[in-house]
Structure 1
């Protein structure tokens, strides 16, 4: 927190009021969720393609 105050120019008084959230690591969405999105896109005619999960699934950004 000290480095943020020093480098950003925020007043020292924010030190006790600032809260920085803990963030989880990036992860892939559950397969079920991705299938539901694909089904929704097709039901709304936003796409007429039948993508496979393998075409959309790219884990390289989290490895």
Structure 2
């Protein structure tokens, strides 16, 4: 009788890869500029345009 070979089962894990630019948070820092010379005064959170705020990598 021939030996049986079994194929490895596909992963059932629902772990999704984190988005690279935002690190999985869905927010990226955006520089706030004010004045006529547009000098930077601080940062605020902005929506990550790579994953559109979901925090998961778009390729996954």
TM-score, normalising length: structure 2: 0.25
Question: Which structure shows the bigger proportion of residues in strand conformation?
Answer: 2
Question: Which structure shows the bigger proportion of residues in helix conformation?
Answer: 1
Larger radius of gyration: 2
